Amino acid sequence: MINPVGSTELQPLFVYDPDTHRQLSHEAESLPSVVISSQAAGNAVMMGAGYFSPLKGYMAMADAMGAAEKMTLSDGSFFPVPVLCLLEHTEAIGDAGRIALRDPNVEGNPVLAIMDVEAVEEVSDEQMAVMTDRVYRTDDMEHPGVAAFNSQGRIALSGPIQVLNFSYFQSDFPDTFRTAVEIRNEIKEHGWKKVVAFQTRNPMHLAHEELCHMAMNRLGCDGLVIHMLLGKLKPGDIPAPVRDASIRKMVELYFPTNSAMVTGYGFDMLYAGPREAVLHTYFRQNMGATHFIIGRDHAGVGDYYGAFDAQTIFEEEVPAGALEIEIFKADHTAYSNKLKKVVMMCEAPDHTKEDFVLLSGTKVREMLGEGIAPPKEFSRPEVAQILMDYYQSI
């Protein structure tokens, strides 16, 4: 099986030993505590689950700036984005060296992790501007990732953490949420040697389904991990339970038995385009995938990124040898009326736009809301039915 990034063993920060977990949970109730941001909570979940291995905790500013500027930390290790715990104020914790981090996304703000505070640093406007520019490639506050990142505080707490729970992801999505540890174990149980991962924050239409089949066939993979985002999205995105139901129905009906896993992870989408594509690839290696599909405008939003920037960044910016996992470069896929099948548009040079079945997201939402199923060349009817039920309920 492929090694985790930078190590031969995955290093999740969740406390699995029941006695230690009980002891730390008891200790946490007496520690100074602070409610952290949703983005910081997502970082804790990802570290706890092993996706960000071998990070030991939140970055100090030197590491955060290194990650932003050149994807390299102070010790020379690779990480593609800053992983920060930013606060607006620290009155609640004073100068304590050990604190409890509380979950902003669960009622009652339960303890998410315990942190040994190694540094408390003021983040300058210049540092925020550099991190924003390098990670998001824009400072436009209309960009949802830029807005979320800059709406946090300007005090950075850094230090190792011990994670005590996985926020709402494990309770709300018990059949879908999986840690990197669990996915690695399931891949071993299946006996898969070559595994391709597919990222989604949307339901999968026919073109997405066929792209996964293409990747598996061309790479000679014996397994597919459909890995969906379960964290916070932007307004208008389809809720995770609806996405989950539609994807499971597609896999049940249109993939061979034991060839595909439907899983999810807990993280707030950054919408950082190319840089987030590298992050997505990083944690797919940690979960055991040998290949990862990156298509047109991967992890993008609006018109902030070029169509294939998320592919070229691997050649132009990612340090050589940083990742073992390989990317499968994909173009936009669509049904060809000429060929009577789904193809990558770049592989049909004799086609015009009119030769493909192309529907805008707005048009699809309108059809679903009116109870009209998109054509079978665009969406499987069983998937469309689940989405129609959702849109007609809102």
Which residues are catalytically annotated? 201-202
273 Cβ contact list (under 8 Å, min separation 6):
136, 137, 297, 298, 299, 300, 301, 304, 305, 309, 310
DSSP H or E segment with residue 334: strand 333-336
Residue 46 near residue 265, CB atoms below 8 Å: yes
Name the phi and psi angles at 35, rounded to 5.
-85, 120
Block residue for tokens 């990802």: 46
Q: What is d(CA 175, CA 170) in angstroms, rounded to the nearest whole number? A: 8
Instruction: Say if residues 130 and 69 touch (Cβ distance below 8 Å).
Output: yes
In 60-201, alpha helices (H): 61-70, 125-136, 144-150, 169-172, 180-190
12 near 48, Cβ under 8 Å? Answer: yes
- Report the chain's terminal Cα–Cα distance, integer Å: 44
DSSP per-residue string spanning 162-201 = EE---TTHHHH-TTTB--HHHHHHHHHHHT-SSEEEEEES
CA gap 328, 314 in Å, rounded:
12
- How many whole angstroms separate alpha carbon 10 and alpha carbon 51? 9
